[in-house]
A and B are shown apart, each in its own frame.
Chain A
Amino acid sequence: MSENREQLAEMADGLFAGLRGGEFDTFQTQIGEAGFGLLLVPESSEGFGGDWGDLATVMRLAGKHALAWPLGEHILAARLLHDAGRHADALTLLAGESSIPWGREAGDVLVERDGQILLVSGEVSAGESPAGEPRDMVAYDWDRAVPLGIEADLFGLIAFLRVCQTAGALDAALELAIEHTGQREQFGRPLSKFQSVQQSIALLAVEAAAANCAAQGAAAALDRFGHGGDARFEIGAAKLRSNIAIKVGAALAHQVHGAIGFTQDYPLHELTRRMMGWRSEGGNDAYWSARLGAQTLEWGGQGLWDQITRRTDPG
């Protein structure tokens, strides 16, 4: 990790840990003051000048700490507005699908319609994600929409955010599993000393590792190809893999926690409930497997390998 990114990670880790269980408005102030909203805005425009790898790092930590705030959507919106020569003042969000996290708090929203990116607002009807967070429908007022004249793959970008958050959430679930099984004794010794429990936790670590590598691979593709949609292959592969990681990993984490993990008092639910929702956001398994499969069949057998390698080789 570069020194800059390490500092960023340290800052995000501390801030997000401190925000746990707090209020939306406090978050708004603190995250705003820390400058995270401008993570992807170039330094020349008084932003942080971060890249997609930096965003992956921050979103991973947001996932780890179950941050209850639409940070990724806001960071992306600020960047796209900057691309269009504007800047975000109120809480501008980006929507990749019909419902938007904390849509009720948003000033404006960036959406894609008929291939155009529009800045638009509308009437909100409240909804809720499986994690109990606001996730609202907005009836956009298209007549007042402002076309931004930029290109971006909003849906893919939302998928990317979820992959990064999943990576952090699975690592956090793993950490909880290790802590819990080290303390809880049954049959006269800690659960972690039982081989079958160790094997389950090892598998959870494997899934967390897959999600982390997928997130970094997708970030590298975004750094290379930009956010116009050329990184869709990597983003799709990463989203599909992280959906699998959630399926396998969440079940294992709960299994080794026994009943305690199923309570409001214990923090595991903050991770699993969110992850279960993320599996639908930014494209579910059916969506991405159909796309990736079709893309692959178009490339052909040798073409697949050519593409996969060419896309990471320099030059």
Chain B
Amino acid sequence: MQTFAVHPFEAPENAQSIRSDLRAFLAQHQPDKDPVLRANCWTEFDPAFSQALGAAGYLGMLWPSQYGGHERLPLERYIVLEELLAAGAPVGAHWIADRQTGPLLLRYGTEEQREKYLPGFAAGTMYACIGLSEPGSGSDLASVRSSARKTDAGWVLSGQKVWTTGAHISHAMLALMRSEESSERQSGLSQFLIDLDLPGITIRPIIDMFGTHHFNEVFFDDVLVPHGALVGKEGEGWKQATAELALERSGPERYLSSHALLAAVIDSLGPDASAEVTATIGRLVSEMWTLRQMSMSVAAKLASGVDPVVEASIVKDLGNTFEQEMPLAIQAVLDADLADGSDLSRLLATLLQVSPSFSLRGGTREILRGIIARGLGLR
């Protein structure tokens, strides 16, 4: 038995030139903001940056050119993602549209939906958010209660979503709704792509424990959306949503989103660091390097058309654990005063506070391990 069959990552011939082009782009466009914003970079919204990235051809990289895409190779895109994350670029605004919603539309969407959204997604000017969680539905996503009622004029939506990252800056939400009245669990659910400026939609900020505004609660009060807002097949929402989640489990963001801290600590230490600190850096680098091998293997497998569910969950679980532990491991050996106002202390303090969320967002640790266990045939 080999549960994680390693797939060789054949980096494209132009890998180095992709990297150097992107580094040049970043040198020009990376906003010269507070370096602390690089700490948890795939949640950092910066529409101007996203737009520049789109204009340079780094969004919708795999999509057909008729939708504003660039028809590049999956592993070319992988390299771009690596570079953006390692540099701590503020990719949050377009992140979900580029990573999840766009690919989902290409897979399940109608022609009309593709034409309406994909070019904006690829240009970095339109953003999307994910409406899965509800007050009563977190881990148990199949208990979704927000409803969609079919009428002649369209679908009427009611209910509430919660923890919706970026709803306040997004143009559309891909939401999972109960489209069949009194249906149970996984059946009778459908996905809708909802324009967030429609009447009846209220978006309220939820301030996270760190004091920042990333997620929101979103209320639907008899919101009328056209029939064309249904994505894929009516009643197939569960299958589609789980496929959507699989798109986001194993990417480099699972171990690189806090890379800025590791880089900053290394730079601040220099070669004369104490033996204890040096050893901690060595161990973190060993884990980071291994995660890269794992993530690249899954990327290569995905690129060859296989859907490695278990492997992807393994990478996410391990990557979350690594990213969660990194600030604590650094804090444990570094002689830092978290109140001294230095960039490094603030970076560290930021990640100490946000890192507990890493094993929640995108599927909790326990749920992922359940998926792995199922893949191993235990359930």
Residues 247-274 of B, flagged 1 when their CB comes within 8 A of A and 0 if not, give 0000000000001001111110111010
Find chain B residues with CB under 8 A from A213 CB.
4, 6, 290, 293-294, 297
Q: Is the interface of B mostly helix, strand, loop or mixed?
A: helix
Scan residues 56-88 of chain B and give those whose CB is less than 8 A from a CB of chain A.
82, 86
Contacting pair A216 B11 (CB below 8 A)? no
Question: Which residue from B281, B289, B373 sits with its C-beta under 8 Å from A293?
Answer: B281
Q: Is A291 an interface residue (CB 8 A)?
A: yes
Number of residues of chain A lying within 8 A (CB) of chain B: 59
Which of B177-185, B236-244, B310-318 binds A?
B310-318
Contacting pair B266 A300 (CB below 8 A)? yes
Question: Which residue from A192, A202, A234, A289 sits with its C-beta under 8 Å from B369?
Answer: A202
A309 nearest in chain B by CB position: B19
Given contacts A212-B6, A312-B11, A313-B15, contact A288 B282 (CB under 8 A): yes
B12 nearest in chain A by CB position: A314
Scan residues 268-324 of chain B and give those whose CB is less than 8 A from a CB of chain A.
269-271, 273, 275, 277-283, 285-287, 289-290, 292-294, 296-297, 310-311, 314, 317-318
Contacting pair B15 A240 (CB below 8 A)? no
Contacting pair A198 B369 (CB below 8 A)? yes
> B256 to nearest A CB, angstroms?
9
Q: B8, B259, B378, B379 — which one has the most chain A CB atoms within 10 A of its CB? A: B378
Question: Which residue from B11, B266, B311, B370 sits with its C-beta under 8 Å from A198?
Answer: B370
Find chain A residues with CB under 8 A from B283 CB.
240, 244, 285, 289, 292-293
Q: Is A296 an interface residue (CB 8 A)?
A: yes
Bound CA span A86–B212, Å:
68
Find chain A residues with CB under 8 A from B368 CB.
202
Q: Is A281 an interface residue (CB 8 A)?
A: no
Q: Is A143 an interface residue (CB 8 A)?
A: no
Bound CA span A197–B373, Å:
9
> A22 to nearest B CB, angstroms?
23
Bound CA span A314–B310, Å:
29
Bound CA span A150–B284, Å:
34
Contacting pair A300 B289 (CB below 8 A)? no
Contacting pair A205 B376 (CB below 8 A)? yes
Find chain A residues with CB under 8 A from B372 CB.
202, 205-206
Number of residues of chain B lying within 8 A (CB) of chain A: 59
Bound CA span A201–B297, Å:
22
Bound CA span A201–B328, Å:
26
Contacting pair B373 A298 (CB below 8 A)? no
Which of A75-83, A91-99, A174-182 binds B?
A174-182
Contacting pair A304 B263 (CB below 8 A)? yes
Given contacts A171-B1, A199-B366, contact A290 B16 (CB under 8 A): no
Residues 279-309 of A, flagged 1 when their CB comes within 8 A of B and 0 if not, give 0000001101111111111111110110011
Contacting pair B376 A297 (CB below 8 A)? no
Contacting pair A208 B4 (CB below 8 A)? yes
> A198 to nearest B CB, angstroms?
4
Bound CA span A76–B264, Å:
40
> B77 to nearest A CB, angstroms?
15
Bound CA span A289–B19, Å:
28
Question: Which residue from B16, B262, B310, B376 sits with its C-beta under 8 Å from A310?
Answer: B16
Given contacts A178-B376, A304-B266, A305-B86, contact A291 B282 (CB under 8 A): yes
Contacting pair B290 A241 (CB below 8 A)? yes
Contacting pair B4 A209 (CB below 8 A)? yes
> B259 to nearest A CB, angstroms?
7
> A51 to nearest B CB, angstroms?
12
Bound CA span A175–B3, Å:
9
Bound CA span A292–B281, Å:
8
Q: A174, A202, A315 — which one has the most chain B CB atoms within 10 A of its CB? A: A202
Residues 159-181 of A, flagged 1 when their CB comes within 8 A of B and 0 if not, give 00000000000010011001001
Q: Is A144 an interface residue (CB 8 A)?
A: no
Contacting pair A296 B285 (CB below 8 A)? yes
Bound CA span A315–B20, Å:
14
Q: Is the interface of A mostly helix, strand, loop or mixed?
A: helix
Find chain A residues with CB under 8 A from B270 CB.
297
Q: Is B34 an interface residue (CB 8 A)?
A: no
Contacting pair B366 A290 (CB below 8 A)? no
Bound CA span A175–B13, Å:
38
Contacting pair A174 B19 (CB below 8 A)? no
Find chain B residues with CB under 8 A from A294 CB.
271, 278, 282
Contacting pair A301 B285 (CB below 8 A)? no
Q: Is B377 an interface residue (CB 8 A)?
A: yes
Find chain B residues with CB under 8 A from A261 CB.
none
Bound CA span A290–B285, Å:
11
Question: Which residue from A217, A240, A286, A301 sits with its C-beta under 8 Å from B293?
Answer: A217
Find chain B residues with CB under 8 A from A197 CB.
378
Find chain B residues with CB under 8 A from A314 CB.
11-13, 15-16
Find chain A residues with CB under 8 A from B15 CB.
309, 313-315
Question: Which residue from A175, A192, A240, A315 sits with its C-beta under 8 Å from B282?
Answer: A240
Find chain B residues with CB under 8 A from A178 CB.
1, 376-378
Q: Is A145 an interface residue (CB 8 A)?
A: no
B318 nearest in chain A by CB position: A206
Q: Which 6 A-B pairs have the closest CB atoms?
A: A301-B263, A293-B282, A209-B4, A289-B282, A292-B282, A293-B278
23 contacts between A and B (CB under 8 A): A171-B1, A175-B1, A193-B379, A198-B379, A201-B373, A205-B376, A209-B3, A210-B294, A213-B293, A216-B297, A289-B279, A293-B273, A293-B278, A293-B281, A294-B271, A294-B278, A299-B266, A300-B267, A305-B86, A308-B289, A313-B11, A313-B19, A314-B15
Q: A240-B286, A289-B283, A295-B282 are in contact. List 14 more A-B contacts (CB 8 A).
A: A178-B376, A202-B372, A206-B372, A209-B4, A213-B6, A236-B282, A244-B283, A289-B278, A300-B266, A301-B264, A301-B267, A309-B15, A312-B11, A315-B13
